């Protein structure tokens, strides 16, 4: 098959490209390198079944042509990361909404199925943990920039469902919960690679807030497995799925685990979020997915636990490789 991967030079996208190429498929990558890196895919660029276009999903004519030449589209391109969204709110909104509309419109025109990656941020301030796919979206005030990302991804989902209903587009939506692993950058608010980088350098591990906020981390390999299972299931089209782990951990506990597994002498310090992020940041207490819908359809269960994930991330940083910016 020939796949189009938007955002294919990013963390998750480059892992997806590697898996598709290693399985013998043809892959076209579209990425503007705003948060991705050529280093993530350079080893594949000499292969005849790989094409790279350095451009944006806002380029509607290019998106149209690349979709036409593909059999299936994985749409991962987006402005991501809390810090990036807070620093560049206009770019975040335009790329995430207008760019996604370009992809959806082109897939509709050429009758190409696609998988659209969304986010756990969709659930906003909802406290009904664990989150089910039909849970209410509770977004914060528009005066806090932090919520613009969740709102843009919600609009992406509304658009996708609208195209599915009105134009019969075959689309699957996945809400990713804290996908991590080798190759993820510590930039833009990504907590695990930041902790690992700090620990290996003997620097203090900086926890924002009191460290009691909880998250569930999923290894990127497991995330890709879930996405592939969904893409190959006819019953997945027209549906939305949580993709994550249910192994809940506080950020404070995560910092201690990183210290333990790196054997680092680093201290753990707690900083008020306002010391790090610009005005508009607001953190959430818990992020736990209900993955029963995904498991029921595909049988998916994560294979790697949190210790495995942290160990893999540490090994990656110790290898001296440079993650995507």
Sheet strands (E) in the chain: 2-6, 26-31, 50-54, 72-75, 114-119, 171-176, 179-180, 205-208, 214-216, 218-219, 240-243, 248-250, 268-271
Active-site option among 149, 163, 188, 277: 149
How much is the average pLDDT of 201-224? 96
pLDDT band at 325 (very low <50, low <70, confident <90, very high): very low
The answer to whether the CB of 199 falls within 8 A of the CB of 259 is: yes
Per-residue pLDDT at 235: 98
pLDDT band at 86 (very low <50, low <70, confident <90, very high): confident
* Distance in Å from the first CA to the final CA of the chain: 30
Distance CA 36, CA 226 (A): 22
Lowest-confidence segment of 31-40, 67-76, 83-92, 262-271 by average pLDDT:
83-92
Per-residue pLDDT at 324: 45
Task: Give the rounded percent of residues in the chain with a pLDDT score beyond 70.
Answer: 94
Domains in the chain: boundaries: 2-178+217-245
Lowest-confidence segment of 4-18, 44-58, 202-216, 267-281 by average pLDDT:
267-281
Per-residue pLDDT at 190: 87
Rounded to 10 degrees, the C-alpha dihedral 120/126/131/133 comes to -70
Per-residue pLDDT at 281: 60
The Cβ of residue 112 has, within 10 Å, a number of other Cβ atoms equal to 20
Per-residue pLDDT at 174: 98
Q: Which residue has the higher pLDDT, 16 or 278?
A: 16
- Residue 234 predicted with pLDDT over 60: yes
Lowest-confidence segment of 10-14, 78-82, 117-121, 234-238 by average pLDDT:
78-82
Per-residue pLDDT at 185: 86
How much is the average pLDDT of 221-241? 98
Tens of pLDDT, residue by residue over 279-291, are: 556 678 899 999 9
> Residue 149 catalytic?
yes
- Residue 96 predicted with pLDDT over 70: yes
Per-residue pLDDT at 186: 82
The separation between CA 232 and the C-alpha centre of its own chain, rounded to angstroms, equals 20
- CATH tag for 2-178+217-245 (out of 3.10.310.10, 3.40.50.720, 3.40.920.10, 3.40.50.450): 3.40.50.720
pLDDT band at 322 (very low <50, low <70, confident <90, very high): low
In sequence order, the β-bridge partners of residue 271 are 208
> pTM (2 decimals)?
0.94
């Amino acid at each position: 098959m020939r796949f189009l991967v938007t955002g294919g030079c990013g963390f998750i996208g480059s892992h997806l490209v590697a898996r598709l190429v290693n399985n013998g498929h043809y892959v076209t990558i579209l990425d503007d390198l705003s948060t991705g890196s050529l280093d993530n895919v350079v080893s594949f660029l000499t292969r005849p079944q790989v094409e790279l276009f350095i451009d944006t999903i806002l380029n509607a004519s290019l998106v149209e042509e690349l979709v036409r030449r593909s059999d299936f589209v994985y749409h991962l391109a987006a402005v991501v990361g809390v810090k990036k969204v807070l620093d560049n709110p206009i770019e975040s909104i335009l790329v995430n909404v207008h760019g996604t509309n370009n992809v959806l419109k082109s897939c509709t025109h050429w009758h190409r199925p696609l998988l659209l990656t969304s986010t756990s941020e969709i659930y906003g301030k909802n406290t009904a943990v664990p989150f089910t796919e039909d849970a209410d979206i509770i977004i914060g005030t528009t005066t806090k920039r932090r919520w613009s990302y969740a709102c843009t991804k919600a609009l992406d989902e509304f658009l996708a469902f609208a195209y599915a209903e009105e134009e019969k587009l075959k689309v699957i939506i996945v809400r990713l919960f804290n996908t991590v692993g080798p190759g993820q950058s510590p930039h833009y608010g990504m907590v695990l690679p930041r902790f690992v980088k700090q620990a290996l350098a003997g620097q203090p591990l900086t926890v924002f807030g009191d460290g009691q906020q909880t998250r569930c981390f999923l290894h990127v390999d497991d995330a890709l497995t879930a996405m592939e299972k969904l893409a190959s299931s006819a019953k997945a089209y027209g549906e939305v799925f949580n993709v994550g782990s249910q192994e809940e951990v506080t950020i404070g506990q995560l910092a201690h685990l990183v210290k333990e597994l790196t054997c680092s002498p680093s201290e753990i310090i707690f900083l008020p979020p306002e010391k790090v992020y610009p005005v508009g940041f607001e953190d959430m207490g818990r992020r736990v997915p209900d993955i029963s819908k995904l498991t029921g359809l595909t049988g998916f269960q994560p294979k790697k636990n949190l210790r495995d994930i942290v160990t893999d991330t540490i090994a990656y940083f110790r290898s001296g490789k440079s993650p995507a910016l």
